[in-house]
């Protein structure tokens, strides 16, 4: 059978097109240029747009076809939002280390009415649309150790971050909505207090979770009672430049918090008790905090709090596959 379409993924110099080879009806190879991206952003003004928000705004709402936006290397200081109904947008950075989307709001910063903008309002990058994907990008809240200051807040459903970095201190990453499903692959996330927090179902697959020098909590889930899953860490590395026994794995922002670490390598900054009840003893009977085959200096579960769980091999194989967690959604990188 003659192949209908052969893709030769070769970038043409300064064009951001690829060459596509296809067979004509007479069997002759035809070469044509196919646009690799729909929109290109460059801070120096050499592309379609100079700012990321302009590019996002240009996408028609309610699109069912993917819109690919390439962001060329640069630091983009913008408070950004992928608004509701701007669905199926993919942001692709030219390189993870050199494409930096940053802003410096924080929760106690005053708005025009003299009131604090709050944790949700502090986010540098907000996603309320569905089917959003980001690849090779650094997301940052650069306000420093000033309390709650979110780098990325996600409310949309079916969200993917691939090979991205999330930089901040307290409350770096906010998977916010209880109806949101999110998949993070090969990402780096850093912070201090509760720096991964929220009510979403979020899977972190082969990510590095870096606790910055001080003491705190990696997670603060606010999972709803009727949600089967909360924050799930698969084959992650928990790293630090902090001292030994300085961090808990998590504490319950809401009483039905669910957080699980599966086959994760934990450095010595993880406290032997593992989990904290946030001075809410009643939460010990409602939370679900679990581990499976933790390793490393902080992975010894012998002294974990009595109200946490060690998963069985049956639970691991049946309940913690991507299919079980995400149901009808298959994340495609």
CB 167 within 8 A of CB 149: no
Cα 198 from Cα 193, distance rounded (Å):
13
DSSP string for residues in 220-240: EE---TT-S--EEEES-EEEE
171 flagged as catalytic? yes
14 φ, ψ to 5°?
Answer: 60, 20
CB 166 within 8 A of CB 154: no
Place of tokens 């959604």: 329
CB 156 within 8 A of CB 132: yes
Exposed e or buried b per residue across 156-192, where buried means at least 16 C-beta atoms within 10 angstroms of its C-beta: bbbbbbbbbbbbbbbbbbbbbbbebbbbbbbbbbbbb
Cβ-based neighbour number of residue 28 at 10 Å: 8
Exactly one of 157, 162, 194, 205 is catalytic; name it: 194
Exposed e or buried b per residue across 239-259, where buried means at least 16 C-beta atoms within 10 angstroms of its C-beta: bbebeeebbbbbbbbbbbbbb
Cβ-based neighbour number of residue 333 at 10 Å: 10
Exactly one of 105, 155, 162, 171 is catalytic; name it: 171
Q: Which tokens in the block code for residue 104?
A: 């410096």
What distances in angstroms separate CA 78 from CA 27, 36, 180, 269, 278, one per listed residue? Answer: 50, 25, 24, 34, 35
Q: Residue 86 in 3-state DSSP? A: coil
For the annotated catalytic residues, the residue numbers are 171, 194
């Amino acid at each position: 059978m003659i192949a209908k379409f052969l893709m030769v993924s070769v970038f043409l110099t300064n064009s951001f097109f690829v060459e596509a080879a296809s067979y004509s009806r007479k069997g002759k190879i035809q070469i044509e240029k196919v646009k690799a991206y729909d929109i290109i952003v460059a801070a120096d003004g050499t592309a379609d747009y100079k700012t990321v928000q302009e590019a996002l705004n240009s996408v028609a709402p309610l699109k069912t076809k993917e819109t690919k936006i390439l962001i060329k290397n640069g630091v983009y200081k913008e408070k950004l939002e992928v608004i509701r109904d701007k669905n199926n947008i993919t942001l692709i950075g030219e390189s993870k280390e050199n494409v930096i989307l940053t802003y410096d709001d924080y929760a106690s910063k005053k708005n025009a009415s003299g009131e604090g903008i709050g944790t949700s309002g502090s986010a540098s990058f907000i996603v309320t649309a569905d089917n959003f994907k980001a690849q090779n990008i650094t997301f940052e809240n650069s306000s420093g150790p000033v309390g709650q200051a979110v780098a990325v807040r996600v409310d949309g459903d079916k969200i993917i971050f691939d090979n991205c970095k999330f930089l901040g201190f307290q409350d770096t990453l906010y998977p916010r909505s209880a109806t949101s499903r999110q998949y993070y692959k090969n990402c780096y996330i850093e912070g201090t207090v509760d720096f991964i927090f929220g009510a979403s179902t979020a899977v972190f697959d082969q990510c590095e979770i870096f606790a910055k020098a001080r003491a705190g909590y990696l997670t603060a889930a606010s999972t709803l009672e009727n949600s089967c899953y909360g924050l799930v860490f698969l084959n992650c590395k928990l790293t630090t430049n902090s001292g030994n026994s300085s961090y808990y794995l998590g504490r319950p922002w809401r009483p039905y918090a669910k957080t699980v670490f599966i086959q994760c390598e934990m450095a010595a900054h993880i406290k032997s008790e593992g989990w904290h009840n946030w001075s809410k003893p009643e939460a010990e009977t409602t939370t679900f905090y679990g581990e499976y085959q933790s390793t490393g200096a902080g992975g010894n579960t012998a002294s974990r709090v009595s109200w946490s769980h060690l998963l069985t091999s049956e639970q691991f194989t049946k309940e913690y596959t991507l299919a079980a967690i995400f149901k009808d959604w298959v994340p495609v990188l």
